[in-house]
Amino acid sequence: MTRTLQQKSTRYFLIWLPLVLLVGTGLFYILMSMHAHHMEEEQLELKQENIWNAIAANREMPAAHITGEYDLAKGSPVRSHLLDIRRDTAIYYPVSKDWMSFKLLTEQHVLNGQPYQLTTYVSSREITHLIIKVFIADIFVFILLLAAIVVINRISSGRLWQPFYVTLKAVQTYDINQNQSLPLDGQTGTWEFDQLNQVITHLIGHVNQAYSSQKQFTENASHELQTPLAIIRSKLDLLIDSSTLTEETAGLLADITEANDRLSQLNKNLLLLTKIDNHQFPDQSSVKVSEAIEKLLAHYQDHHGGDLPVIRKSIQPGIGIKANASLIDILLSNLINNAFVHNIPNGYIDVRLDNKVLVIENTGHSIEGETGRLFERFKKGREESKTTGLGLSLVQRICGIYHFDLHYHYGENIHRITVMFSQK
């Protein structure tokens, strides 16, 4: 799952921060309670000491009992195991009709040779209330902290990454075909982004250079290869016209001519593939597919010697797509050409165009090998020497450029190619 940087960092914060804060809150609660109890005990002991000191100084016995403050009993301890132990208790207050919790401490004292037991009380209700209140406040503070961290992080990372997004957008909209330089800010104020922009600018410069030289190479290769081919062809034209032509040399010339024509065709198709790969067909217009198919079919019927396959067609008129006209022409003529060339005697060709789906079905010989590999360069269905083996490869590249779906199906000597001209 791909998320934006902001979403990711927020996600990390939202997963880990509450965990840390939860542990922190727990620790805080434990420490708070420990300190509070320690404080209660100190208060108990202080009260014990203060009251006994007051009793000892007065030399007369005060009231034996003050609720919530102390109990004073004369005599040896009844339950000596309770001595010097801090215990919890609850006392009923009839006025407020309420039980209140207290801590109590009983200690044995001796005054004038008489043993006394003094039990002092400290209310633990206030301290419990305090703990709860502080704890709640603490939770509020933690939640506020969490929200603040997340918000600050979102805002700051949005600002920090701003130059990055600017660069990203520039690179995204960059079109190599235009062969322009890509000006990026080299002074963003952040070292990493300065570096990034410098590296990208550098890279684009290199790519531009490579692209230009490749285009140049394509053009030069075309010229350099076509020239010797043109020379061979012109010499062949002169040779077949020579008076010394015999039947034997005529046979040789026929073979040379055919090989030369194939070579020239191969060269043209290879260059075309290179050009398509280089995206050198950027011009787009509305191409009338229906009309183009009708024209091609008429053309082939017109220029086909020997057994013409039966042609069935159902072509919805007025279908148009936005694409490069030359490329669509190459695509359609290659598909229709294949249907004619790879047909069998008394075969048929069925062309259907309906709602931007083109289906070309034709009878033909069986194919050796995997059908999926037919679209590879120089892959031929049968070892037929007359084809260049680049036709379907061209078709596939062109479909690739415009995101057309291309399907091939073979069964019982029937070949079916489906092209979906649906553009996203």
Partner 1 sequence: MKILVIEDERSLLASIVQYFNQEKFLCDTAGSYNEGIAKIESFHYDCIILDINLPGGSGLQLLKYLRQNKSRDGVIIISARDSLDDKIDGLNLGADDYLIKPFHLSELNARVRALIRRKYAAGASVLQVGPLKADLASRSIICEDQSISLSKNEYDLLLFLMTNKNRVVSRQAIAEHIHDGPSEQIPSFDFVYSHIKNLKRKLKEKGCHEIIHSVYGLGYKLFS
| Residue from 155, 254, 259, 310 in contact with partner 1 (CB under 8 A) | 254
Neighbours of 285 (CB within 10 A): 12
Q: How many chain residues interact with partner 1 (CB under 8 A)?
A: 43
Per CB under 8 A, does 219 bind partner 1?
yes
Q: What is the DSSP letter of 308?
A: P
Per CB under 8 A, does 333 bind partner 1?
yes
Cβ-based nearer residue to partner 1, 104 or 417: 417
| Residue from 74, 129, 304, 322 in contact with partner 1 (CB under 8 A) | 304
Spell out, one character per residue from 222 to 241, where the chain touches partner 1: x when CB under 8 A holds, - when not: xx-xxx-xxxxxxxxxx-xx
Per CB under 8 A, does 250 bind partner 1?
yes
Cβ-based nearer residue to partner 1, 140 or 217: 217
Phi, psi of 321 (to 5 degrees): -135, 155
Spell out, one character per residue from 264 to 293, where the chain touches partner 1: x when CB under 8 A holds, - when not: xx--xx------------------------
Phi, psi of 17 (to 5 degrees): -60, -50
| Residue from 162, 257, 274, 418 in contact with partner 1 (CB under 8 A) | 257
Spell out, one character per residue from 393 to 422, where the chain touches partner 1: x when CB under 8 A holds, - when not: ------------------------------
Neighbours of 7 (CB within 10 A): 12
Instruction: Provide the minimum distance between the beta carbon of 211 and partner 1 in the complex, in angstroms, as a whole number.
Output: 17
Cβ-based nearer residue to partner 1, 305 or 372: 305
The count of residues in the chain is: 424
- Nearest C-alpha neighbor of 142 from the set 27, 21, 23: 21
Rounded CA gap, 141 and 206, in Å? 55
Contact assessment for residue 210 and residue 216, using Cβ atoms and an 8 Å cutoff: no
Q: What is the DSSP letter of 346?
A: T
Instruction: Provide the minimum distance between the beta carbon of 256 and partner 1 in the complex, in angstroms, as a whole number.
Output: 10
Q: Is 138 exposed, middle or buried (0-12, 13-18, 19+ CB in 10 A)?
A: middle
Q: Is 239 exposed, middle or buried (0-12, 13-18, 19+ CB in 10 A)?
A: middle
Instruction: Provide the minimum distance between the beta carbon of 221 and partner 1 in the complex, in angstroms, as a whole number.
Output: 10
Cβ-based nearer residue to partner 1, 103 or 380: 380
Per CB under 8 A, does 305 bind partner 1?
yes
Range 404-408 contact pairs with CB under 8 angstroms and sequence separation of 24 or more: 406/375, 408/371, 408/372, 408/374, 408/375
Binding window for partner 1 (CB under 8 A); candidates: 38-46, 156-164, 200-208, 221-229:
221-229
Contact assessment for residue 359 and residue 416, using Cβ atoms and an 8 Å cutoff: yes
Cβ-based nearer residue to partner 1, 193 or 340: 340
Kind of pairing, strands 405-411 and 357-363?
A: unpaired
| Residue from 69, 261, 294, 376 in contact with partner 1 (CB under 8 A) | 261
Binding window for partner 1 (CB under 8 A); candidates: 18-26, 106-114, 334-342, 398-406:
334-342
Per CB under 8 A, does 300 bind partner 1?
yes
Instruction: Provide the minimum distance between the beta carbon of 235 and partner 1 in the complex, in angstroms, as a whole number.
Output: 6
Spell out, one character per residue from 32 to 71, where the chain touches partner 1: x when CB under 8 A holds, - when not: ----------------------------------------
The CA radius of gyration of the chain, in Å to the nearest whole number, is 48
Per CB under 8 A, does 326 bind partner 1?
yes
Q: Is 211 exposed, middle or buried (0-12, 13-18, 19+ CB in 10 A)?
A: middle
Per CB under 8 A, does 259 bind partner 1?
no
Cβ-based nearer residue to partner 1, 43 or 226: 226
Cβ-based nearer residue to partner 1, 197 or 334: 334
Per CB under 8 A, does 341 bind partner 1?
yes
Cβ-based nearer residue to partner 1, 73 or 221: 221
| Contacts of 12 by beta carbon, 8 Å cutoff, 6+ apart | none
DSSP-assigned letters across all residues of 112-135: TTEEEEEEEEEE-HHHHHHHHHHH
- Compute, in degrees rounded to 10, the torsion defined by CA atoms 408, 410, 416, 419: -10
Binding window for partner 1 (CB under 8 A); candidates: 59-67, 250-258, 285-293, 362-370:
250-258
Contact assessment for residue 292 and residue 329, using Cβ atoms and an 8 Å cutoff: yes
The SS3 of residue 137 is helix
List residues near partner 1 by CB under 8 A: 219, 222-223, 225-227, 229-238, 240-241, 245, 247, 250-251, 253-254, 257, 261, 264-265, 268-269, 296, 299-300, 302-306, 326, 333, 337, 340-341
